[in-house]
Amino acid sequence: MQYSYATRTAALLASPLRHIRDHARRHSFISLAEELPAQELFPVKLLDEAAHEVLTSGPAVLQYGDPEGYLPLREWLTAEWKSRKRMNVDPRQVLLTTGTQQAIDLVVRLMVNAEDPVLIEQPGSPGSLQVLSMQGARLIPVQADAQGTDLEALERRMAADRPKLFIAAPSFSNPTGFLWTLEQRQQILSLCQKYNVLLVEDDSYGELHLHQNEQIPPSVAALDDEGRGGHVLYIGSFSKTIAPGLRTGWVTGHPSLIEGMSALKQLADMQSSSMNQRLLHHLLTDHRFRWHDHLELLNREYRVRLKLMLELLKRPFWKEVTYHVPGGGMYMWVRLPEGLESATLLKAVMPKGVAFMPGALCTAGNSGNSYIRLNFSHPGREELLMGMNLIGETITEFTARRS
């Protein structure tokens, strides 16, 4: 039978990311493309014990739970935010989701009609771009670099297009690892308040600091009346800090937004796994698991892996590329030599057993064609050496033919 798919799914079904993931399942394939943390740093032993404790606590753990999520975990989150992030929100203002991606999907479905203008940080998360594309939003890219966002251009777009949302990651964006300054956060919040734009603040990578002793400004949500101002929707997850397989994220914002997103979530999946949420809460409250020490362990290890990738980028293979050293996160955003497009390079390296994320998937329009995103958090040392060498050799083959 021939199936007639919705037009909006065409780009999703044709995405090279699906092809990359198919290859990544092969044992010897090296993927620098995916958004994967270091699995050897997962707290497996304590999670195993937590799972045993949760499953033996009684059959209610396997029953349907609160659609908004396991209340003790929401209470833990709000206490953590009050202690460390200068946010003071009620646990009833928190919705637990199946990762950050679902939080973005829910707010977009709640607020965005087809052809509605939405501001999106560029470059930005491939997942956010896919969600917006599926909803039929009119994407308005907001260019960001190491110096920050062009605030005058941002205000012009807000005034002219009257967007409902601005989706951005102020702390270590995917793919660049850029960090907004406190002044930028204050100014952008002021613009959102002036033009009635909801800032969707993605803090998925906010705990992954790669520069020791760097002062991280408070979240934009914290600046918005400690998370209660109604102009910021704050989202994040445990996927990059504990384990992505637990599929537990969160969103907090104005009660009316949380109520609407909760209603949509119940249509989608009723609730995220309450068992996984109980397991997480058990881990986080276990005296043997020190959350802040665990975060520091991740950051120490990722600094080592980033240092290795930076050393590899100094090799002759890579002499014509340019890049900015990220302040946090899990990726390097690399500009290829002039005339070489990432899609062309990807086709050449995949038969050799390695892949990266083509930059076009991180941008609206064609501005990302000359960039690639490289993940340094997941591959081990030998995989990283081999993968970077294979990509670098292929770049050299292209530049040699050009000259």
Q: Could you tell me what percent of the chain has a pLDDT over 70?
A: 99
Give the end of a domain, one of 284, 316, 332: 284
Same-domain pairing of 171 and 297:
no
Same-domain pairing of 35 and 182:
no
Q: For the chain, what is the mean pLDDT?
A: 94
| pLDDT number for residue 12 | 78
User: In the predicted model, is pLDDT for residue 57 greater than 70?
Assistant: yes
354 is in which domain, residue-wise? 7-42+291-402
Asked if 250 and 92 touch (Cβ cutoff 8 Å), the reply is no
Give the end of a domain, one of 267, 284, 301: 284
Tens digits of per-residue pLDDT, 138-172? 999 999 888 888 899 999 999 999 999 999 999 99
Same-domain pairing of 16 and 118:
no
- What is the pTM for the complete model shown? 0.95
Same-domain pairing of 180 and 206:
yes
Same-domain pairing of 232 and 116:
yes
Which tokens is 115 given?
A: 């052809």
Q: How many domains, the chain?
A: 2
Residue 2 lies in a domain: no
Instruction: Provide the CATH number for the domain around residue 215.
Output: 3.40.640.10
Average pLDDT over residues 270-291: 96
Unique residue bearing structure tokens 């990722």: 302
Instruction: Provide the CATH number for the domain around residue 376.
Output: 3.90.1150.10
Tens digits of per-residue pLDDT, 20-56? 777 667 778 999 999 999 999 999 999 999 999 999 9
| pLDDT number for residue 218 | 97
Same-domain pairing of 77 and 115:
yes
| pLDDT number for residue 22 | 75
Same-domain pairing of 213 and 361:
no
| pLDDT number for residue 39 | 96
Same-domain pairing of 378 and 398:
yes
User: In the predicted model, is pLDDT for residue 375 greater than 80?
Assistant: yes
Range in 152-166, 236-250, 357-371 with the lowest mean pLDDT? 357-371
Residue 1: partners with Cβ closer than 8 Å, 6 or more residues away: none
Same-domain pairing of 34 and 51:
no
Task: State the maximum Cα–Cα separation within the chain, in Å, rounded to a whole number.
Answer: 70
User: In the predicted model, is pLDDT for residue 266 greater than 70?
Assistant: yes
User: In the predicted model, is pLDDT for residue 318 greater than 80?
Assistant: yes
Residue 210 lies in a domain: yes
Give the end of a domain, one of 253, 284, 315: 284
Same-domain pairing of 159 and 116:
yes
Average pLDDT over residues 70-75: 98
Residue 360: closest CA among 375, 350, 376, 346: 346
| pLDDT number for residue 17 | 73
Q: Distance between CA 249 and CA 314 in Å, rounded?
A: 37
Same-domain pairing of 72 and 178:
yes
Residue 220 lies in a domain: yes
| pLDDT number for residue 400 | 82
Confidence of residue 307 (pLDDT cuts 50, 70, 90): very high
Residue 1 lies in a domain: no
Residue 19: partners with Cβ closer than 8 Å, 6 or more residues away: 350
Average pLDDT over residues 255-278: 95
| pLDDT number for residue 8 | 80
Q: Supply the Cα-derived Rg of the chain in whole angstroms.
A: 21
Asked if 357 and 373 touch (Cβ cutoff 8 Å), the reply is yes
Confidence of residue 403 (pLDDT cuts 50, 70, 90): low
Residue 40: partners with Cβ closer than 8 Å, 6 or more residues away: none
Average pLDDT over residues 171-192: 96
Range in 71-75, 107-111, 334-338, 397-401 with the lowest mean pLDDT? 397-401
